[in-house]
Amino acid sequence: MIKIAFIILSLISIFSALMVISRKNPVASVLWLVFHFFGIAGLYVLLGAHFLAAVQIIVYAGAIMVLFLFVVMMLNLNLVNNEKRGKIIGKSIGAVVSGLVLVLFTYSIRTTKWNELFFNQVTDQEWGTAVKLGSLLFSNWLVPFQIVGILLFAAVIGVVALMKRKITRKVENGIVITQEEDVA
């Protein structure tokens, strides 16, 4: 049963990842990436990390991808011009390099001495719940938690500073002219 679920979820993840990098329309890529995140969240549930699966859907699929979609829809991309200068040689070199990366991974996995430690699936039912994670997060790992909070705060300040625009209005010959320019 778990085997079937693993096969289906991993096929969904790999297929959607391939679709993400190959679609011409960026909105289609974004939607395939959302689908991929659902597959990955399913794999997290298979591993027993329920809380993290829910957090993955809320944060990644529900917030970050919505931000991507906003940017794609607002930018109103001219799809024809974007990929015209992509040459076949460039793309094939990219594919070869990624194949080499995969070969490198396979080699490094094959030549590692795997201990018995790595083969027992977790049996504790409480391993992935919010209670267990919360008790660790607020005791041992409190300082990294707070630093991540400060990091997110800094990111918000950065985004607002980048996107701030100064709007000046002047009246010329009875016509109101509004000018927007970036402050940054």
Partner 1 sequence: MHTELWSLIIEKTIFGVILLAAIMTGAAYVTLAERKVASWFQDRIGPNRAGPLGLLQPLADGIKFFLKEDMIPKNVHKAFYLLAPGIAAIPPLLIAASIPWGNQIELLGKAIKLQMIDLNVGILFIFAFASIGVYGVMLGGWASNNKYSLMGGLRSSSQMISYELAQGTAVVGVLLLAGTLSLDEIVKQQDSLTKWYVWRQPIGFFIFFVASLAELARVPFDLPEAENELVGGYHTEYSSMKFGLFQVSEYIHLIVTSALISTLYFGGWQIPFVDIASNSSFIYGVLGVISLLLKTVFFIFVFMWLRWTLPRFRYDQLMSLGWKFLLEAAFVWIVITAILVLAFPWYKTWF
Partner 2 sequence: MSEITIHHYIALSAIIFSIGVAGVLTRKNAIILFMSIELMLNSSNLALIAFASFMSNPVGQIFALFVIAVAAAEVGVGLAIIVTVYRNRNSINIDDVHLMKG
Residues in region 137-176 near partner 2 by CB under 8 A: 137, 141, 144-145, 148, 151-152, 154-156, 158-159, 162-163
Least distance (Å) between residue 113 CB and partner 2: 13
Q: Using the rule CB under 8 A, which residue among 17, 19, 47, 55 binds partner 1?
A: 55
Task: Tell me if 57 contacts partner 2 by CB under 8 A.
Answer: no
* Residue 62 contact among partner 2, partner 1, none, beta carbon within 5 to 8 Å by kind: partner 1
What is d(CA 51, CA 120) in angstroms, rounded to the nearest whole number? 21
d(CA 118, CA 109): 13
Render 106-140 in DSSP notation, one character per residue.
Answer: HHHHHTS---GGGGPPP--TTTTSHHHHHHHHTTT
Stretch that binds partner 1, among 11-19, 59-67, 138-146, 154-162 (CB under 8 A): 59-67
Strands (DSSP E) found in the chain? 165-172, 175-182
- Tell me whether residue 160 or residue 171 sits nearer to partner 2 (CB atom): 160
Q: Does 116 bind partner 2 (CB under 8 A)?
A: no
Burial class (CB in 10 A: 0-12, 13-18, 19+), 77: middle
57 binds partner 1 (CB under 8 A): yes
